[in-house]
Amino acid sequence: MHLSSDQWKAVFAARETEEGSTGRLSELGNELRSVAYVLALEGASTPDPKWGFLERALDGVVQTMQPAPSMTHIELCMSPNTRRDDMHFATYLGAKAGWGASFGGQREFYLGHNASSWRAVPVVCRDASARLRTECSKHVGTPYSIAKYIFALPPVRALAGLLSDVPQTPAHCAILAARCLKTSLSEIGLNHASSWFGPSTLFLELDSETKRAAFHEQLLRSDPTVRAISEDEGETRAMHQLLNGSDDDIRALAEEACVLALHRITVRSLEPGLDEVARRIVQKQLATALLRYSIVRNVELYKYTD
């Protein structure tokens, strides 16, 4: 980061203001307490130039063998909280499962070559973010498995239910995400075995019209205070800056406005009646807002300046 001393003073002053607004946030409740997110990376025709042969080969196979829209990676994203906990949990080729910061290179991975390819799907149920975070902690260190992609393909996936689903059993990204979701948030109704899912099929399951309608109803029911608050200038500005502003613009935002803006985009992404094009656009907006909040504020501002 390249901030002048005056800019840092402004940042710290903003943080003091935010800390003093706890009462206001408490009145609203934790707007995103009932929400967790699944981040999905759309397959691209042009692979990341930094990839090696194995990564390119796996990407090609995953894109070719899955239903549209083809997703090549999927991971979990928790809602922001006052503790500034890491918001990402995932596993990657050649690595073991862990929280996002443990892998390094978050800015490049999320906001670099892949920036325009992310989509976010909300998962809504009681205390979803905290329950999912607790479950994810049990899966840190899970070995990565390429071989298990075979069980995401018909007809072999009929055997997926025979595989172990206990924590630390080797998994690829979709198995890990499904495993954590099924165990911690069983009421969302993932009816297939975790190993049955690939990135695309897990995305499609959570993005079904039935689940989106249920999540939308639950979100409005769990946050009646937020629903009653009209969109104000600060929230509108926060939404614009999260999507289009510079890093400095995002750092200067009030925390309350950021959380409310994320909540509004989350609600919009679940609105009934969206066609496929509109849904894809708002899911990309939601992913952009989440990732820019996560990297610019939750990681860089609040962790590196403490």
| Residue 146 burial by Cβ neighbours in a 10 Å radius (0-12, 13-18, 19+) | middle
For residue 197 the two structure tokens come to 């899912």
Q: Which amino acid is at 306?
A: D
| Residue 282 burial by Cβ neighbours in a 10 Å radius (0-12, 13-18, 19+) | buried
Q: What is the DSSP letter of 293?
A: I
Three-state secondary-structure class, residue 206 = helix
Domain boundaries, the chain: 5-304
Looking at residue 209, its pLDDT comes to 95
Compute the average pLDDT of residues 146-167: 92
Q: Where does residue 104 fall: left (phi above 0), alpha (psi -120 to 50 degrees), or beta otherwise?
A: left
Nearest to 205 by CA among 188, 218, 219: 188
For residue 145 the two structure tokens come to 């498995």
Per-residue model confidence as pLDDT tens digits over 217-230: 999 887 655 544 54
Per-residue model confidence as pLDDT tens digits over 80-129: 988 889 999 999 988 999 999 999 999 999 999 899 999 999 999 999 99
CA distance 133 to 79: 10
Q: Given pLDDT bands bounded at 50, 70 and 90, which one contains residue 188?
A: very high
Q: Given pLDDT bands bounded at 50, 70 and 90, which one contains residue 163?
A: very high
Report CA Rg, the chain.
19
Q: Output the average pLDDT for the chain.
A: 85
- Helices and strands in the chain: count of H runs, count of E runs: 14, 5
Q: Where does residue 269 fall: left (phi above 0), alpha (psi -120 to 50 degrees), or beta otherwise?
A: alpha
